[in-house]
């Protein structure tokens, strides 16, 4: 018996910040970590396709939906446990709560994540961060379920953290369960000030009033993807209900009724224009679910 709840033919648009996506066959909300592990092993034994979703804040889900089982990391992995300067955090916990609790304890190391939406799991996989720092710098180890259903612990050097990437990103069938972060003592008022400054900067520069998935492309070395997109003439570009934001060109927003094909089409066009103008190619920062990965690969293969 597995604890938790199940939804059948659940629309993904209700679970992603872009508010886009068709139905998934089965969405499971495991109650405890061992329930989640059992569901993964059940899927593997029966060759049922499965995938994972945290807060849905950095993903593009297909209009036709997904086959198989989609596991949610909350509530099973929604926990934060501080032990001195170390914290063990479940991947279903929110980044905002982690930042707030660390700041309240006067601990530095994650304030660079202030304003980053979504779950700790997504942040760990993509090495989320800002100019103030990335989460990978604080990671000691992660526990995960691998593609064979085995639970494993990987130490920080094995995770191969780099700018907006990690080994976890290259293993889409791995599910990170929890991580230990090492923080350092600091001045609580100074930490809170840096958090407030980061939040204010995001409010000024990002279109937080519209549905989006955050930054669409990774920044090329020495360049800002938003600037390249703007210089290529893409700012304000529309396709259906999707638009390259007028406020920040590395964001695509849903102005109403946008589809995954609208967003993917804008991504392909933006990449084509800036590649033609600057010769710089860059991969998405957002996670493309299901068949969207292959559509992106085919559309960009000739200019990879």
Q: Where in the sequence is the domain holding 247, given as residue range(s)?
A: 209-303
Question: What distance in Å separates the CA atoms of residue 88 and residue 97, rounded to the nearest whole number?
Answer: 13
End residue of a domain, out of 41, 72, 103: 72
Residues 45 and 129 in one domain: no
Q: Do residues 262 and 242 lie in contact, with contact meaning Cβ atoms separated by under 8 Å? A: yes
Query: Does residue 198 sit within a domain?
Result: no
SS3 content of the chain, % helix, strand, coil (to 5): 35, 30, 35
Query: Does residue 58 sit within a domain?
Result: yes
Query: Does residue 172 sit within a domain?
Result: yes
End residue of a domain, out of 40, 72, 104: 72
Question: What distance in Å separates the CA atoms of residue 13 and residue 1, rounded to the nearest whole number?
Answer: 29
Residues 186 and 88 in one domain: yes
Instruction: Report the range of poorest mean pLDDT among 17-26, 71-80, 111-120, 139-148.
Output: 111-120
Tell me: the pLDDT tens digits for 199-232? 998 889 999 999 999 999 998 888 889 999 999 9
Q: Could you tell me what percent of the chain has a pLDDT over 70?
A: 99
Q: What is the average per-residue pLDDT within 229-237?
A: 95
End residue of a domain, out of 19, 53, 72: 72
Residues 11 and 40 in one domain: yes
Judge whether residue 164 has pLDDT over 90: no
Query: Does residue 29 sit within a domain?
Result: yes
Cα 115 versus chain centre, distance: 13
Report the CATH number that the domain containing residue 241 is assigned in CATH. Answer: 3.90.78.10
Q: Do residues 92 and 76 lie in contact, with contact meaning Cβ atoms separated by under 8 Å? A: yes
> Among residues 74, 67, 68, 97, which one has the least CA distance to residue 15?
74
Question: What distance in Å separates the CA atoms of residue 34 and residue 48, rounded to the nearest whole number?
Answer: 19
Tell me: the pLDDT tens digits for 51-90? 999 999 999 999 999 999 999 999 999 999 999 999 999 9
Q: How many domains does the chain have?
A: 3
Q: What is the pLDDT of residue 303?
A: 67
Residue 116: pLDDT band with limits 50, 70, 90:
confident
Q: For the chain, how many helices (H) and strands (E)?
A: 7, 19
Judge whether residue 140 has pLDDT over 70: yes
Q: What is the pLDDT of residue 1?
A: 65
**210 class by beta-carbon count within 10 Å (0-12 exposed, 13-18 middle, 19+ buried):** middle
Residues 170 and 244 in one domain: no
Residues 139 and 221 in one domain: no
């Amino acid at each position: 018996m597995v604890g938790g709840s199940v939804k059948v033919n659940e629309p993904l648009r209700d679970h992603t910040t872009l508010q886009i996506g068709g139905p998934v066959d089965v969405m499971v909300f495991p109650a405890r970590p061992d329930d989640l592990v059992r569901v993964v092993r059940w899927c593997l034994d029966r060759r049922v396709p499965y995938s994972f979703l945290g807060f849905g804040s950095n993903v593009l889900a297909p209009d036709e939906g997904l086959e198989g089982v989609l596991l949610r990391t909350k509530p099973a992995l929604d926990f934060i446990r501080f032990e001195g300067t170390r914290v063990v955090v479940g991947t279903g916990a929110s980044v905002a709560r982690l930042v707030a609790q660390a700041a309240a304890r006067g601990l530095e190391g994650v304030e660079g994540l202030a304003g980053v939406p979504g779950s700790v799991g997504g942040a760990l996989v993509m090495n989320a961060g800002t100019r103030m720092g990335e989460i990978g710098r604080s990671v000691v180890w992660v526990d995960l379920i691998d593609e064979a259903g085995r639970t494993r612990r990987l130490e920080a050097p094995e995770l191969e953290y780099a700018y907006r990437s990690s080994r976890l990103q290259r293993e889409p069938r791995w599910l990170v369960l929890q991580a230990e972060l090492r923080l350092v003592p600091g001045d609580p008022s100074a930490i809170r000030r840096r958090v407030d400054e980061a939040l204010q900067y995001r409010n000024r520069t990002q279109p937080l009033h519209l549905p989006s998935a955050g930054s669409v492309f990774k920044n090329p070395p020495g360049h800002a993807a938003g600037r390249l997109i703007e210089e290529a003439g893409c700012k304000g570009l529309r396709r259906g209900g999707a638009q390259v934001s007028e406020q920040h060109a590395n964001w695509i927003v849903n102005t109403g009724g946008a589809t995954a094909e609208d967003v993917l089409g804008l991504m392909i066009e933006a990449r084509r224009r800036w590649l033609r103008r600057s010769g710089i190619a860059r991969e998405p920062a957002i996670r493309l679910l299901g068949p969207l990965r292959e559509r992106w690969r085919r559309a960009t293969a000739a200019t990879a």
